Amino acid sequence: MAMLEGGREATGTKSSLITAQNLSAGYSGRRIWSDVSFSFGRGEFVAVIGPNGAGKTTLFRVLLGLQRPLGGSILVFGEPPRRGNPHIGYIPQRHTIDTETNVECLELVRLGLSGTQWGFNPLAHHDRDAALSALESAGAADLAHRRLGALSGGELQRIFLAEALVSDPDILLLDEPLSNLDIRREMELLHLVNNVVRTRGVTALLIAHNINPLLPHMNKVMYAANGKMATGKPAEVLTSESLTRLYGVQVEVLKDPHGNVAIIPVEEHHGNVP
Amino acid sequence: MSISPNILADLQQIWSYQFMQNAIEAGTLTAIVAGVTGYFVVLRRSAFTAHAFSEIGFAGAAWAVLSGIPPLAGLLLGSNLGGLGIALLGRRATNRDTQIGIVLAFSLGLGLLFISLYSGYATQTYSILFGEILGVSYDQVLETIVAAVGILIGVGIIYRPLLFASLDEDVAEAKGMPMLTLGIAFMIIVAVAVSFAVQVTGVLLVFSLMVTPGATAQYLARRPSRAIAASVLIALLATWIGLFLSFYTPYPVSFFITAEVFVFYLFVRFVFVRFRWEKISPGTILKSPSDRSG
């Protein structure tokens, strides 16, 4: 607990909430990525980009303490990850909630705070207030009394964001919250997350397939491919040299006038295309 | 006995019979327990599992009859073993429907074997299959009280984690909730609840108390605590009215209970809900999953 407080005190100093040294992860017998080092401080918005199977979700599972790393060291709030850390908010990768779920959204968000408590206290209402304020932060106050099963994809992601925020976390892990969203909802959700990162000083890691919508918001990028990850500021990672090293084939990073990037293999049309 | 316009006098007449007192007491306790657990059964989409318990319990009960021990003991043994097995398989096992179906069919076959081996009266089999609330003894009422108190305390303890795990399993797991323990605890609770509900409705009709009230309640209230209250109320009313009607008619209680909950479900699902939801969000009932992106 003392270490945890230490992590919380680090607000002022720029010391990091998450530090990894030569980390490798995977399942027994199959290493998904190895020799990954990074360090994220408070209030950083990190985009985690890469193709399917590159081990992005595995990284989250390691941070959540759901999966042991195969090697190297990882510290979250200055201590090894442990399952059930209330200072981490998490949106898992998923498609939807059953359309027949006739439970109101507020209840799910409340459970984000009190769902880990045993016993039954019909008079406890502190979780209700916290849930209402989390819904407010996630721009979903108007959805509080709607049925979970009747929400659209974008609305559902805002509820999941509120559920992740309700325990007032220092780290947010968002696994593909943008999938299934159209461009407008995608931008809206990113603005919401960015707002949370800035106003609450939360460190957010967001997994996505396309980096371009994230460019205006993010401080750092983790690019996963080929059993490795390249981490750093966008300007450092999104270069032809760095991504060529990562992919092991010649790639070129092209930028359009708006700053959007396209990553294109220079070799003939064979080899490791992202 | 015939029904009179004076309901109070009718109720007095019903209450004057010991077997009706037993039936009302056991039925009331069972309805409360079935209403509470049934809500979670529906929320977790475990209706088929609950049904499987009763059929595995049937094999157990038939074996118990054959061995000369109380059928309830066999029911409890069978359904709890089934519950433990299914919980250990895990909720994530995608083809669990298939596995349950396989075990279910085998259990019914086993039950049939035990019955054919049993040379005695067939009424006991009939009552296991279709319920025999009017034959409940005072001792069985006491047993039901113990089971009901145990189940309600159990549900009270795991209430919030169970709700959390039912609505959002991945996040609950990441938050450190012991999913396997929760799953086992819930399955045991359902297995015991099913075993007692079988006394009222029988193995084949256990859905009418374990599933239909919970399913109907989800359309009536969006907050779990209220939906559970509604589920209990539906199960209670169905049981009471069923007992009342069957007292004055030659027809079985189980039939009345199944018919009442079914008719009420239809009313809520197709009349009440349309009237209520369309004010809030038009057309949501008709939405299919493919319409829901964006």
A121–chain B nearest CA distance, Å:
9
C-alpha Rg value of chain B to the nearest Å: 20
pLDDT recorded at residue A8: 41
Among the partner-chain residues A86, A103, A120, the one whose CB lies closest to the CB of B156 is A120
Enter the ipTM.
0.85
pLDDT recorded at residue A272: 53
Among the partner-chain residues B45, B156, B219, the one whose CB lies closest to the CB of A119 is B156
Higher pLDDT, B122 or A246: A246
Cα–Cα distances in Å, from B275 out to A96, A131, B219, B221?
26, 29, 12, 14
Inter-residue contact A46 to A222 (CB < 8 Å): yes
With beta carbons under 8 A apart, name residues in chain B contacting A182: 293-294
Q: How confident is the model at residue A11 (pLDDT cuts 50, 70, 90)?
A: very low
Structure pTM?
0.86
Interface of B with A in 213-252 (CB under 8 A): 218-219, 222-225, 227
Q: Which of A126, A147, A158 to mutate to test the interface with B (most CBs of B within 10 A)?
A: A147
A266: which 2 tokens?
Answer: 């220079």
Q: Which of B133, B108, B99 is nearest to B54 (CA)?
A: B108
Q: CA B99, CA B82: separation in Å to the nearest integer?
A: 12
With beta carbons under 8 A apart, name residues in chain A contacting B224: 103, 107
Interchain CB distance below 8 Å, A146 and B280? yes
B164–chain A nearest CA distance, Å:
5
A199–chain B nearest CA distance, Å:
24
| H/E segment holding residue A79 | none
Residues 6+ away with beta carbon under 8 Å from A108: A148, A159, A163, B167, B168
Interchain CB distance below 8 Å, B173 and A122? no
| H/E segment holding residue A46 | strand A45-49
With beta carbons under 8 A apart, name residues in chain A contacting B45: 98
Residue indicated by tokens 């049925």: A147
B252–chain A nearest CA distance, Å:
33
A205–chain B nearest CA distance, Å:
16
What is residue A207's three-state secondary structure? strand
What is residue B78's three-state secondary structure? helix
B92: contact with A, CB 8 A cutoff: no
Q: Per residue in A15-32, pLDDT tens?
A: 789 999 999 998 877 889
pLDDT per residue of chain B (294 residues) written in tens, 0 to 9: 677 888 889 899 899 999 999 999 999 999 999 999 999 999 988 888 888 888 899 999 999 988 988 888 999 999 999 888 888 876 665 457 787 888 888 998 999 898 888 876 667 777 888 888 888 889 989 999 999 999 999 999 999 999 999 999 889 999 999 988 998 999 999 999 999 888 888 888 888 999 999 999 999 999 999 999 999 999 999 999 999 999 999 999 999 999 999 999 999 998 887 776 544 544 444 444 444 443
Query: Can you name the residues that pair with A228 across neighbouring β-strands?
Result: A225
Return the percentage of chain A with pLDDT > 90, whole number: 55
Does residue A2 have a pLDDT over 50?
A: no
Mean pLDDT of chain A: 86
